[in-house]
């Protein structure tokens, strides 16, 4: 019974994530959703800036702190290890849903591309960015990343097996293709509003901060394998290889 409940918990957490992921596409792209990143301002500009920055900070803190090994070591004293990742995914989804629900449009436009070809190019890049994000998760193991592999192993009564260090496809060209995809998603838009610009700037800052923490953990986990990979592979933009130190 316990194994079944753990599996159901993992599935619910994953489905909530996937629904949030799909809604985020519409939210950032201003398509198919009742409330998106742009719209008619409802509060004064400074209030909107503080609210939006606070929502992004909450998401960033949750996303980074709960991912650190030191936090996990303490967290699993209260949350069963087999659902630790699913719980992380659940909390991340809740923070993202809160952000999209309480987000405050700010008015004003930095750019508004009217040219049909320009719109098509930027909209296509937006879609390509989301595709890169999704494909990158499958390259490293989508189901492990979002907690399903952990709960499935537990359901089968098998001991969890940690993933080995691999460098598949996109990862041969940049160390963080998933983050590269996010940057494309956030910046490729035919209409850049003030609210969208704030979102893009703060999330970009978070991405580069998160990479620093993540790579420190990866070096600790994989040692010289990751250090060698880091020395010869660009971090996020595919602009050539580094020379091995």
Place of tokens 């040219």: 115
**Count of alpha carbons within 13 angstroms of residue 122, beta-carbon side:** 17
* Token pair in block for residue 144: 């492990």
User: Where along the chain do its domains lie?
Assistant: 2-232
* Token pair in block for residue 72: 């996990």
> Residue 193's closest CA among 20, 40, 24, 21?
40
H helices of 141-193, where? Answer: 142-145, 148-156, 177-187
Contact 176, 211 (CB under 8 A): yes
Contact 89, 10 (CB under 8 A): no
What pLDDT is stored for residue 76 in this prediction? 93
Phi, psi dihedral angles at 111 (to 5 degrees): -150, 155
* Token pair in block for residue 158: 């098998």
What pLDDT is stored for residue 241 in this prediction? 62
What pLDDT is stored for residue 239 in this prediction? 82
Q: Where are the beta strands (DSSP E) in the chain?
A: 109-112, 191-193
What pLDDT is stored for residue 1 in this prediction? 84
Q: How many CB atoms lie within 10 A of CB 168?
A: 12
Specify the length of the chain in residues.
245
**Count of alpha carbons within 13 angstroms of residue 59, beta-carbon side:** 22
pLDDT tens by residue, the chain, 245 residues? 899 999 999 999 999 999 999 999 999 999 999 999 998 999 999 999 999 999 999 999 999 999 999 999 999 999 999 999 999 999 999 999 999 999 999 989 999 999 999 999 999 999 999 999 999 999 999 999 999 999 999 999 999 999 999 999 999 999 999 999 999 999 999 999 999 999 999 999 999 999 999 999 999 999 999 999 999 999 999 886 655 43
* Token pair in block for residue 191: 């209409």
What pLDDT is stored for residue 244 in this prediction? 45
Query: Cα separation of 204 and 194, whole Å?
Result: 15
What pLDDT is stored for residue 245 in this prediction? 39
In eight-state DSSP terms, residue 233 is S
């Amino acid at each position: 019974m316990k194994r079944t409940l753990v599996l159901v918990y993992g599935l619910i957490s994953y489905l909530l994530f996937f629904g949030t992921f799909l809604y985020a596409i519409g939210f950032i792209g201003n398509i198919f959703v009742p409330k998106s990143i742009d719209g008619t301002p409802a509060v004064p500009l400074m209030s909107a800036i503080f609210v939006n920055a606070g929502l992004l900070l909450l998401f960033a803190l949750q996303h980074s702190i709960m991912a650190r090994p030191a936090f996990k070591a303490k967290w699993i004293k209260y949350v069963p290890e087999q659902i630790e990742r699913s719980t992380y995914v659940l909390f991340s989804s809740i923070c993202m849903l809160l952000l999209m629900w309480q987000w405050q449009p700010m008015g004003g436009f930095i750019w508004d591309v009217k040219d049909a070809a320009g719109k098509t190019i930027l909209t296509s890049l937006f879609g390509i960015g989301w595709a890169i994000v999704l494909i990158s998760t499958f390259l490293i193991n989508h189901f492990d990343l979002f907690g399903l592999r952990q709960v499935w192993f537990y359901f089968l009564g098998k001991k969890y097996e940690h993933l080995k260090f691999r460098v598949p496809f996109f990862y041969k060209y940049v160390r963080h293709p998933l983050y590269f995809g996010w940057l494309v998603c956030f910046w490729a838009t035919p209409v850049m509003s003030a609210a969208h610009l704030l979102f893009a700037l703060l999330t970009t800052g978070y991405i580069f901060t998160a990479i620093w923490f993540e790579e420190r953990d990866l070096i600790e986990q994989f040692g010289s394998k990751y250090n060698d990979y880091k020395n010869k592979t660009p971090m996020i933009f595919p602009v050539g290889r580094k020379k091995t130190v």
